[in-house]
Chain A
């Protein structure tokens, strides 16, 4: 059966985005709550999130979601009142509810009921304690609205009887409205219930008062009748004023609100204990990702044109040096260039999102996995405010999940083993992000057992990835990098944490597709660190332009380590493969002319080498000339061309020339295959 919600298609994205936001707050906060149970601001923020979800789901008529968010809200209220103890079981239940809420959110999208049993979950919440529904109704009695003033002045005595709607959720507030309205007309000489009683906020169905006033019965009836949820008003004149004598004299004392009542009030208000400083208006507009992408594409085109303009300007200056018009042109071109740069920066900054968008998923994941595998883990996150282009962020999630799972599964020992080895029982996993010279560095680090090089070698031999002879002669860092080869896995049993047929090779491929790099360092018995280097954006790539007659290629700068000039006699041969020795290490060479079937490169006196790294493999690309650095706008090769060996994409240079951007990863595989690692 199709579910029906009170929600338009154009309202959907806002509903979903807001719901996701609140669910994330809950997810993250609940995990923090386990450690920081005394943090009342945190409890408050969680409560607010549940409260907002309840309100929003109520607006679209999602009853099951309201039921569950209400139960969660009550549970958090219980935490605040210390009626509910924060235990692992409690957090588990709350998280279960959050998971269920995700499914209920999905119902709104799919319009099909999920399997969530809301009643059963709500039932479990209510069995947590007896706090449910009987919220203490302590009087929040502030200074009284009016004191029973002494002698009645002129005016007639009027009796007012008011009936408040049964279903009013705050009938006491309605009674208060009536009371205040009556005070506007004159002096109240008697009333039932009393103001103190009303202020306990207990439901009031009937309110009765006697006032001395100049106003007419009609006026009073009209004003009172205008108050919402008033079902019936009876206003009548009383004869004489003798009843004033029988007014029960209420002591006109001012009751101080009990501390607990004030706390209740604060709580209902969603106040945090510390006033927050930030109140300045940050005016924002929501816009679609598609628009941003379009904008970025246009900026890309503009950059291509700017580069083109630079070239045209250059040739004009060369031909008509000193011409005033040409000077004018140059100046304008320079200005357009600067503006284009600024525009690019601005547009890029709009597209930037903090890494926390990916990182925030991890506390929950680590908690779940540590429970499941009986390992004690502490997740430390650093630099989550570091910003990255959203296209990169989106691609980052899977590789990071894999690395963290990998650390938990393979890296971290069980508590017993850790204690035996004199390590703290709780393992530490560090995820960090930082900017470094126009790149982003991401780290996933654990203090587990480290990678056993000999085991890696043995596994690689067993799987036929390398021969035993190769294994014997292989250096440590090279051997560790075997873990990135496809078909490699050292786990004896394929566990459901990391072993899903997806290995680190996929992680590396994903990262390299983002023009990034991944490397690993390990210390036996002390831990392992994976480090990912990424460009800030995918749309514009800083490259090194090189010429291999008659073509120009762009090498992504993120892969370039250094450039060298060597002479023919520096080139040696290993297994018939050209290499050079660079700082006592053997560096295989790849002639780009050979790789792409271009005319043979001249064996001139000098050769230019671009040293590049892909993963932990390094090699030297032999080129004819180095042309310099340039930021190019990436254009995909398109479906007609498809995948081409060694080429990732294309770009257009300032002079309109189409160039190809090298796929260094692809090339290094080629070298790896021939050079035989």
Chain B
């Protein structure tokens, strides 16, 4: 089963998405900031990364760029909120494959993942 890396500094969000994905049969790994996400990407090679933007230590955009540098084929979906239009745009230019706006519905997240895995 596909392996998904969830990156968000908010534990509640990670838990919520984990539950959602595990319920659909995905394998889930979590990271609480960008730096840890880059580490996790190297060691665990997830199929899809769900990446928050505003995080301490290393933000999502930087982490996206680092992950894409490691693996140009990396499939990263940004998790974003209102008021982050410029960052999302920048993320897309930097190779993010999709973005989902918080608070998101289950279907939105799942469909973003299925699309990328297709």
Contacts and interface: CB of A to CB of B under 8 A. Distances in A.
Interface of A: 11, 14-15, 17-18, 45, 48, 51-52, 54-56, 58-59, 61, 66, 70, 73, 77, 135, 137, 140, 142, 145, 169-170, 172-173, 176-177, 180, 198-199, 201, 226-228, 261, 264-265, 268-272, 276, 278-279, 281
Given A169-B101, A270-B53, A270-B56, A279 B35 contact: yes
A481 B43 CA distance: 63
Interface string B48-60: 0000011111111
Given A56-B13, A177-B98, 6 more contacts: A58-B102, A77-B83, A142-B90, A170-B85, A228-B115, A268-B54
B10 A173 contact: no
Given A56-B10, A265-B86, A276 B57 contact: yes
A170 B9 contact: no
B2 interface: no
Interface of B: 9-13, 15-16, 33, 35-36, 39, 53-62, 80-93, 98-103, 108, 111-112, 115, 118
Pick the 6 closest A-B CB pairs, nearest first.
A58-B103, A270-B54, A279-B35, A269-B59, A201-B85, A170-B88
Contact of B86 (A48, A51, A70, A140): A140
A180 B92 contact: yes
B54 A173 contact: no
Given A51-B81, A279-B57, A281-B36, A177 B92 contact: yes
B16 A269 contact: no
Contact of A59 (B9, B13, B85): B13
Contacts of B118: 226
Contacts of A52: 9-10, 54
Contacts of B98: 177, 227-228
B12 A15 contact: yes
Contact of A173 (B56, B57, B60, B99): B99
Contacts of B35: 279
Given A55-B103, A173-B88, A269-B54, A11 B81 contact: no
Contact of A14 (B12, B83, B84): B12
B12 A56 contact: yes
B58 A264 contact: no
B87 A269 contact: yes
A14 B15 contact: yes
Given A18-B11, A169-B85, A268-B84, A48 B92 contact: no
Contacts of B16: 11, 59
A51 B98 CA distance: 21
A176 B54 contact: no
Contacts of A199: 89
Contacts of A226: 115, 118
Contacts of B86: 137, 140, 201, 261, 264-265, 268
Contacts of B53: 268-270
Q: Which of B85, B89, B91 has the most CB of A within 10 A?
A: B89
A401 B54 CA distance: 35
Contact of B93 (A18, A70, A142): A142
15 contacts: A55-B102, A58-B102, A59-B13, A170-B84, A176-B92, A177-B98, A201-B89, A227-B98, A228-B99, A265-B61, A265-B86, A265-B90, A268-B54, A270-B59, A272-B56
A194 B12 CA distance: 40
Nearest to A52: B10
Given A14-B11, A169-B82, A265-B86, A276 B102 contact: no
B56 A11 contact: no
B115 to A, nearest CB: 6
Nearest to A16: B12
A173 B91 contact: yes
Contacts of B55: 48, 270
B89 A198 contact: yes
A172 B89 contact: yes
Contacts of A177: 92, 98
A135 B93 contact: no
Nearest to B111: A228
Contacts of B80: 169-170
A640 to B, nearest CB: 43
A674 B45 CA distance: 77
A279 B101 CA distance: 27
Nearest to A199: B89
Contacts of A278: 57
A49 B24 CA distance: 31
A228 B80 CA distance: 14
A48 B56 contact: yes
Nearest to A19: B12
A52 B13 CA distance: 9
B102 A59 contact: yes
B72 to A, nearest CB: 13
Given A51-B54, A56-B13, A176 B93 contact: yes
Nearest to B102: A55
B14 to A, nearest CB: 9
A320 B35 CA distance: 62
A173 B39 contact: no
Contacts of A169: 80, 82, 85, 101
B93 A180 contact: yes
A188 to B, nearest CB: 15
A334 B93 CA distance: 65
A45 B57 CA distance: 11
Contact of A135 (B83, B101, B112): B83
A177 B13 CA distance: 26
A33 B92 CA distance: 35
Contacts of B111: 228
Given A11-B15, A15-B12, A226-B115, A55 B90 contact: no
Given A52-B10, A270-B56, A173 B85 contact: yes
Given A18-B10, A226-B115, A268 B93 contact: no
A271 B53 CA distance: 10
Nearest to B17: A59
A269 B60 contact: yes
Nearest to B94: A142
B82 to A, nearest CB: 6
Nearest to B78: A173
A6 to B, nearest CB: 9
A55 B81 CA distance: 7
Contacts of A17: 11
B85 to A, nearest CB: 4
A15 B12 CA distance: 6
A171 to B, nearest CB: 9
A45 B55 CA distance: 10
B52 to A, nearest CB: 8
Contacts of A58: 81, 102-103
A265 B12 CA distance: 25
Contact of B89 (A140, A276, A281): A140
Contacts of A269: 53-54, 59-62, 87
